[in-house]
Amino acid sequence: MKLAETGEALREILKGAPRPCVLVPTMGAFHAGHVSLMERAREMAGPHGSVVVSIFVNPIQFDRAADLDAYPRPLTRDLATCRAAGVDVVFAPDAASMYFPDRSVTVTETMLSRGLCGATRPGHFDGVCTVVLKLFLLSGCDAAVFGEKDFQQLAVIRRMVRDLDVPVEIMAAPTVREADGLAMSSRNTRLTPEQRADAPRIRQALSAAAELKNPAEALAFARRAIEASPLARIDYLTLVDAVTLQPISEILRPAILATAVFYGDVRLIDHAAVTP
């Protein structure tokens, strides 16, 4: 496994590398969910292709400085995880090598990113789109793998690729969960034991509410179930079309029941599919 710490080094390593090249963009602090993305990338690349994992805590997608500062960065452990997963190249730059001090170009998506996480995290998806496009260009990848847990991010990236004619195939990997149903996230390690014990109620509430075909009833049920805990504070809870991500009042097509919930200063996201 090779390590690149600058874009120039990455391009040099990948010059003439076996194709296809499949990228897994991450911010590190790996758990089993990340490993599943690497495994999916290896399936796509085949035994002779190249799997590239980027590890970069992207500062321009954080709307809260405290969240950025608190984000875990166990690089040594993450590199060992990549090596065990059969990754060929790890790209682990610092912010100074990714962004010029006077950078003045940002990639902005204006429809799918307005609601959900985008409504309460100004500039977040501008930062996501900008860094992901840079990673695509630096790696020259043929395909990239993203987790379905961040379903709004996945939708926004797909729209960016479509609208800008980016020649990268976007593949989705299913959400990986803990035994009690909590979606795996690097943020889970920041929960107190009491918060961690309570957090599975998010999945339980969404799963039960998704069975209710009346949107108002589903939203009301999920809200009651989550707010029954004094530890949980809802950031948003909404029902949206699975393709357009626009709020809906009637379930005529596949939909998504989505929420973001704070436990202290730790923000957890999850969603459940709702079928007509």
CA distance 47 to 57: 29
Counting DSSP H helices and E strands in the chain, the numbers are 11, 9
CA distance 113 to 106: 14
CA distance 42 to 85: 9
Provide the 8-state DSSP code for 106.
-
Q: Is residue 276 reached through a cis peptide bond, with omega within 30 degrees of 0 on the bond before it? A: no
**45 vs 3, 20, 49, 164, 274, CA distance in Å?**
19, 5, 5, 24, 32
Count Cβ atoms within 10 A of the Cβ of residue 217 and give its class: 0-12 exposed, 13-18 middle, 19 or more buried: exposed
**What amino acid is encoded at 209 in this protein?**
A
Residues carrying an active site annotation? 34
- How many of the other CB atoms lie within 10 Å of CB of 177? 16
Are 21 and 45 spatial neighbours (Cβ–Cβ below 8 Å)?
Answer: yes
Q: Which residues contact 207 (CB under 8 A, 6 or more apart)?
A: 181, 272
